[in-house]
Amino acid sequence: MTAVGIDAVEIWTGKLKLDLPETVAPIKDKDPDYYTKGLGLYASSFPDAHEDIVTMGANAAYRLMERKGLTPDDIGRIDVATESAFDNSKPVSTYIAGCLEQVYDEDFHHANKGERKFACIAGTQSLDDAYNWIKAGRNRGRSALVVATDTALYARGDPGEATQGAGAVAMLISEDPSIVELSTEQGYGSADETDFLKPNQQFPSVDGKRSMQVYLARMREALEDFENAGGETHPDDYVFGPYHTPFPGMVRKAGLFAFRHTIRDTDIEDELAAKIGRQPREDEYDDREAYEEAIRAYMDDLKSTEQYREWYANTIEPTLGISREVGNWYTGSVHIARASALQYAVENDMGMVGKKLLVGSYGSGAQAEIHAETVQDGWDEEITQLSIDEQIRNRHNLTYEEYELVHDRHNHDKRVELDDFTEPENEFVFTGRGEMDERTYEYVE
């Protein structure tokens, strides 16, 4: 059967930077290590005054189309994943198509457009939709454009404010892809949860500590479901594990849980048994509390073993490079984790064709998905062309007072005017609102 997966990727970061240890820590009277060591974050990306989810998504998509020499006729569907939409009816994909139609002679009237919502997992769900559409043979030779775009803002003073971020990832999903093939096997962990939600409001209501527990519980379910679907989970089968990364500290916890789960009943558990014993099994304990305490003690020991440290340094750490510099991008977050790992592989001359990634996506509310991806011939040419490192370096570094103005500018209720911090060049920009309060955009050379 033909391979289907990610053929090309482009990333667009918001053009402003908020330095967490340098700029925010002194104002909030926090130890800089809270950000860099605790959360694992150095900076957040923010949209400039002329940017929003549409411009970031359209700019990533336009770059991708230009680089691949595509025209609208090559694209059969455009799905936008976001949890930052500003309209309950008209999807962001129509705005992005409208932007792209300003720069191409052809239009996208033939393309099926939609908007996917399930918190941060919607980007992966859109990949799945595109995969199914192609596998079903409904694509008529065309590819799908998936755009994950978010402005992840929290109310000022919310603990989540430290994890903010903004950016977009555009991905082309095709037959015979050049980056990764997606596995048929998928695992889900899904439950009705109220850990993080936005009931008709821009900024989330969050139960932060609970959201972390729900993330881990749903991921574990998804891993088990993936195994039940026939998916392999032995750590040696995977080179990288890109997970949804709200902040790297969350992935530090998820990595330990995943390692414990995937070494159970394997040669690795046997090898470690001499040093830290075998993993506690629930049926060996009289009650749940005693079992959980034993698990906690085992995880503490596991964390300090050489095997775990080496696995984490090789498999997980390389996925966090971009996230540390940009913060949470919600729907795009797991997709920058994949890109970050593949950039690391290019930098370290790793032969990756045929190697596998175990991808863990998560959305609050809540659902996790685990699937595998196999790296394809041509992956390195695609990844080498990413300009995200340069974009990150070129961001305008905000003062705290400027950050407050930027937060207000992107607050849907405030609608404040603000001059740009950066000069737009060869990009789509937000120009204002029309008669029906629709947003308007133009391409600036």
Interacting residues toward ligand CAA by CB under 6 A: 31, 33-34, 37-39, 120, 159-160, 162-163, 196, 206, 208-209, 211-212, 215, 244, 246, 249-250, 328, 330, 362, 364
Residue 247: CB minimum distance to ligand CAA, A: 6
Residue 335: CB minimum distance to ligand CAA, A: 13
Distance separating alpha carbons of residues 59 and 166, to the nearest angstrom: 13
Residue 227: CB minimum distance to ligand CAA, A: 22
Of 174 and 340, which CB lies nearer to ligand CAA in the complex structure? 340
Q: How many CA atoms lie within 13 A of 67 on its CB side?
A: 21
The residue type found at 30 is K
Distances (CA, A) of 340 to 181, 240, 303, 388, 442: 17, 10, 24, 10, 31
Of 5 and 40, which CB lies nearer to ligand CAA in the complex structure? 40
Of 4 and 153, which CB lies nearer to ligand CAA in the complex structure? 153
Catalytic residue, chosen from 83, 115, 325, 373, is 83
* Of 310, 182, 321, 179, the residue nearest 255 (C-alpha): 310
Distance separating alpha carbons of residues 345 and 340, to the nearest angstrom: 9
Catalytic residue, chosen from 99, 115, 193, 244, is 244
**Known catalytic residue at 244:** yes
Catalytic residue, chosen from 10, 51, 115, 120, is 120
Distance separating alpha carbons of residues 210 and 266, to the nearest angstrom: 31
The residue nearest ligand CAA at its CB is 38
Of 94 and 163, which CB lies nearer to ligand CAA in the complex structure? 163
| Look-up of token digits 């918190």 | 119
SS3 label, residue 360: strand
* Of 227, 230, 204, 251, the residue nearest 361 (C-alpha): 251
Residue 360: CB minimum distance to ligand CAA, A: 11
| Look-up of token digits 């079992």 | 291
Strands 396-397 and 16-19, bridge-based pairing? parallel
**Known catalytic residue at 261:** no
SS3 label, residue 143: strand
Residue 41: CB minimum distance to ligand CAA, A: 9
Of 374 and 411, which CB lies nearer to ligand CAA in the complex structure? 411
Distance separating alpha carbons of residues 311 and 235, to the nearest angstrom: 8
Of 328 and 376, which CB lies nearer to ligand CAA in the complex structure? 328
Of 4 and 25, which CB lies nearer to ligand CAA in the complex structure? 25
Residue 151: CB minimum distance to ligand CAA, A: 13
**Known catalytic residue at 22:** no
DSSP 176-238: S-SSEEEEEEEEEEE----SEE-TT-SSPEE-HHHHHHHHHHHHHHHHHHHHHTT----GGG-
- Please return the burial class of 348, using the count of CB atoms within 10 Å of its CB with bins 0-12, 13-18 and 19+: exposed
Residue 29: CB minimum distance to ligand CAA, A: 12
The contacts of residue 310 (CB under 8 Å, 6+ apart) are none
Specify whether the CB–CB gap between 413 and 70 falls below 8 A: no
Q: Which active-site residues does the annotation give?
A: 83, 120, 244
